[in-house]
Homo-oligomer: A and B are copies of this chain.
């Protein structure tokens, strides 16, 4: 066997994922060399404190606090530090030195992706980030390459395991949000400060990345409308269940065409009702899945583990081996060039169905008045169901009304809900949730 070329790999960060990447690079060195055509030599691991305790035992001499020097001498740089700085500066430095970069930094990509993409284009080197969305699931490469001859029309993703675990717990046990969150924290699925997950910020960053690749247009975090799951109640979940739905936090990117043929993309994250028979409804616990609708391919779904050190390391190494293979083959690296220029639409321009729960006065004519009000706002009702409750003690009757609308613009739906609230026969609006997959 001929002597293989050696490629130097610099690893920045040694947390949960980084430690597993280092372990696999060392343990599987021979198999990776066979598949790459070059030895991938881990030249160093940049960390803040070289003496910190790690999940995995790694050679102490690999650790350094001098990330800049490490990056200067690398053929391939893996950035797993997270956060904006110094990750951004180090990635830009690596790219301008001609190194290929693999990163899982969704926050940085969503906030400042265009700067990174342009730096990679300019240097003619590859910037890969499969690990940034849906952990181990190969999703970005299929969108970028396998679907490159198709037109994606819609992406619906369960891309945050923490919130999916919490909603799944609420659905299966009837727990309230706070209790399900506490359980997720106890099991290690949620962090002590769960804000980034439960407020939808993590999913929003991933939505921006998915939208960018799916629609060949650069979308940033500011283009994503974001609502978390903190206001989803056990009553919402129960009512949804009763009506044949499950509530999921979805990252959605969809192309919309207005009456004049103008195109735009709505990118948003919000709790969403899905029919129980929808493929995404069966995604349980902390698993992730991305559902794609394309003009020719039709419906596709990609399912797997969305987090965890070892699964996410699999995605990092897939990017690393792919970039290294191209270095071995020679010739220019593949870079991303955005060819589309579809505007990001505000949430008001999105079209969805709504599920609306109302506590109404039990008197004749209420349904007719509400239906009339929807019609006046141009919102068509698909299902309207009234349930009468009688309090055994007081003998007082109350009526609960559940409405599922057809797809209409967010603006029309919001205006309708506002108007409904003003009706004297409405005691309260108990829930307003968006519906997909119907």
Residues of B within 8 A of A337 (CB): 37
Given contacts A149-B316, A149-B317, A149-B320, 9 further A-B contacts (CB under 8 A): A37-B337, A138-B142, A145-B322, A148-B318, A297-B304, A299-B305, A329-B334, A330-B331, A330-B332
Inside 8 A of A300's CB, which chain B residues have their CB?
A: 136-138, 302-305
Interface string of A301-333 (1 = CB under 8 A from B): 111110010110111111111100110011110
* Stoichiometry (number of copies): 2
Q: In the complex the two chains form, what is the Cα distance from A261 to B142 in whole Å?
A: 35
Chain B CB within 8 A of A83 CB: no
Determine if A31 is an interface residue (Cβ-Cβ < 8 Å). Answer: yes
Say yes or no: is A363 at the interface (Cβ < 8 Å to chain B). no
Sampled A-B contacts (15; CB under 8 Å): A34-B339, A35-B148, A35-B339, A136-B294, A141-B141, A141-B145, A148-B318, A149-B316, A150-B317, A279-B282, A298-B308, A298-B311, A301-B302, A325-B334, A326-B334
Task: Given A329-B334, A339-B35, verify A298-B136 contact (CB < 8 Å).
Answer: yes
> Chain A: residues with CB nearer than 8 A to chain B?
20, 24, 28, 31-32, 34-37, 130, 136-138, 141-142, 145-151, 216, 279, 282, 294, 296-305, 308, 310-311, 313-322, 325-326, 329-332, 334, 337, 339-340
Contacts of A150 in B (CB 8 A): 314, 317-318
* A404→B311 CA distance, assembly (Å): 32
Find chain B residues with CB under 8 A from A330 CB: 331-332
The complex places the Cα of A319 from the Cα of B142 at a distance, in Å, of 11
Is there contact, CB below 8 Å, between A329 and B329?
no
**Assembly CA distance A216 to B28 (angstroms):** 15
Report B-chain residues with C-beta under 8 Å of the C-beta of A137.
Answer: 300
- Which partner residue on chain B sits nearest A40 by CB separation? B149
Q: How far is the CB of A314 from chain B (nearest CB, A)?
A: 4
User: Contacts A137-B300, A279-B282, A329-B334; is A294 near B318 (CB within 8 Å)?
Assistant: no
Q: Which of B151, B315, B319, B340 contacts A297 (CB 8 A)?
A: B315
